[in-house]
Structure 1
């Protein structure tokens, strides 16, 4: 196990003690654990290459030595490593291992906040029995290895952001402590992209104004960051300076749902508006069914689009009224798409999400410009279709627009959707 900058518990006893545990190569490690024949070979978990979902989702440590990267196409990975073994994902198995890891974490604190299936924050502040963050991290690491057969990397710090940074800092099977004394030496010298939520687009914006490291983010005047990044400037400035004070939620608390969405990588390039309309309808139908299932109505529709050159953009539109009607959400998503996508480059993936929620039981304001009778009929129609699909399957009733191209419409994002635990934002 790699140990980096062990913390002096007496010097930092007044700080919060936050751990972030990250299961190393989680999907691939679980697959290798269940198949002894592939344990000593380069292994990756990937989607269906024949249906264009052929990207690397995860890889084991052996595969990493070939510079195989998550998100790249399987055919590209096999050019680097012809002997690479690609196995399909088994999410139910991963969820079972995730639950077993959470059970171990809960023996140390009830403040365990999931970040995907393979990561979690733990707040052990004030726990007299487990008040030493470094010692507790070592014990958790040992137990995960002995009881689950996989390894974890753990970051220990005084806030969630730096704890997350620490779990990424050294891998695999490592513990890194980020303290108020050493964070400038460790965190500030790291690339800006190592800070949580600095993605490719934000990295480019930072580069355009000469910011390459986390320390440069921390020392850039806030007004400059705001002018180039908007509200994200404030967020990243606080993250880089260690100002994050967000709590680790209790494990049994149901955090507020902030968005519901689905996305898909299509089996062929999307080149026309009609193709896009088919995919958008399937996604919107799934999103609206999930909203109705949870008793929500929404006011803001969001779309995300990625083209074949892997350029990505996101757009959103706030409607006049709250709704969970499939027809209305689809219409708004399609209009948003048409207004923002020129289709000069073929697309490979589309996503739809809704946000700005209210409960569907809130009083409804009658609109003189809307046919209220037709609106009520459409609400009952959607509920009837939901019951039919629940009983007889997703494809029991389909609009005619989806029958024109079964390749684009023949997927079921609602049932295939894996609901990941609540993220940081």
Structure 2
């Protein structure tokens, strides 16, 4: 029996969530960005109207406004997106317990074992899910239906917004093989350039290319891409509860102006460390190593790391460790364009043993108090929003810089 896999992709997710609070803007071109007041802010999302002006994600505000002078810019509220993502996935779990989030706005569902409970028609089920999400949350979703995860995702991309596309063993060659090879999952620009040198420009040409030769050209990834193109990918849908935890947790920020001096750098590091600490606590993890990456105005990076005295998810510990590294590798009057903090060598919270220091009296109770304090702050943020409370030294208004983790995964 062929599997029945759905890939659900929320349409213009960030912008759609923001428009729930601004219904008067639904017919206007709207984009969400980190800093609406900065010409160098980055576009994070846009609605269908803005897409009509060719506004693109990750381009700067000034570039977007040059294309669309009437573009309405809204600030990002990441806590809202997280909350709606959880609500959407809760809807998906009404139909199957096999729900694998792929990103904040995308999930795979394996409904092979439950399809019969909902009538047995995979397209009708996908349409039902779209209707429920739209009626209950006011959001639209495009759904791809297929016999594997890769083709299901390509199905959700095939027709947007608010559409269902079914890709089967009988029609996948007609639907997918004429598409550019870059439409295949994980075919980036570098791989596409290499493939173009061998006359491979479409997914069909990739599928017809000799598999062994493709492996020699692209290595192990060549075999994988060939399996994707020919429909031989059979990876399971892994629910979030069974997915392995992160190997590292990081957060980076590119500043609108170069930072100079220990005070400014300490403030920035505190903000970054606070975000990393929140994510560590969310995963029930502590880190034993902290790493910093410093970028100067000439885009030259240096990276330093150190082992911490004890496993921690306290932002103050991360800040102090990061500042120690920074003072050891950087000059107080040297300008900094960007900073990144990464927590590494992670251990489970309950397994985070600590070497006691007989001369550091009161250190453990003090850390316990800090842990309880920061957990209490997490609870306040979860209820009232990310900006509801912050550590005084980490007050650094969102939007003053361009967050690296808006463009690159921050949890690995």
TM-score normalised over the length of structure 2: 0.71
Mapped to 1, the partners of 2:302 and 2:193 lie a distance apart of 16
Matches within 5 A, 1:10-409: 14-50=1-37, 54-127=41-114, 128-130=116-118, 131-200=120-189, 203=192, 211-218=200-207, 219=209, 221=211, 225=215, 228=218, 232-233=221-222, 235-250=224-239, 253=241, 255-270=243-258, 279=268, 282-284=271-273, 286-288=275-277, 290-291=279-280, 294-298=283-287, 323-324=311-312, 326=318, 330=322, 347=337, 350-354=339-343, 357-362=346-351, 384-387=369-372, 394-396=390-392, 398=393
Number of residue equivalences: 386
Mapped to 1, the partners of 2:232 and 2:261 lie a distance apart of 45
Cα deviation for residue 161 of structure 1 reads 1.5
Cα deviation for residue 181 of structure 1 reads 2.8
Cα deviation for residue 157 of structure 1 reads 0.5
Mapped to 2, the partners of 1:108 and 1:31 lie a distance apart of 27
8 Å CA contact retained: 1:287, 1:353: yes
Mapped to 2, the partners of 1:277 and 1:259 lie a distance apart of 26
Q: 1:13-43 CA distances to partner (integer Å, 9 max, x unpaired)?
A: x100001111222232333344332122111
Give the CA RMSD over aligned residues: 5.0
Q: Which runs of 5+ in 1 are unaligned?
A: 1-13
Cα deviation for residue 382 of structure 1 reads 5.4
8 Å CA contact retained: 1:188, 1:215: yes
* Paired position in structure 2 for 1:4: none
* Paired position in structure 1 for 2:380: none
Cα deviation for residue 66 of structure 1 reads 0.4
8 Å CA contact retained: 1:193, 1:199: yes
Q: Which runs of 5+ in 2 are unaligned?
A: 378-388
Mapped to 2, the partners of 1:288 and 1:424 lie a distance apart of 12
Q: 1:103/1:66 Cα in 2 relative to 1: closer, same or farther (>3 Å)?
A: same
Q: 1:248/1:138 Cα in 2 relative to 1: closer, same or farther (>3 Å)?
A: same
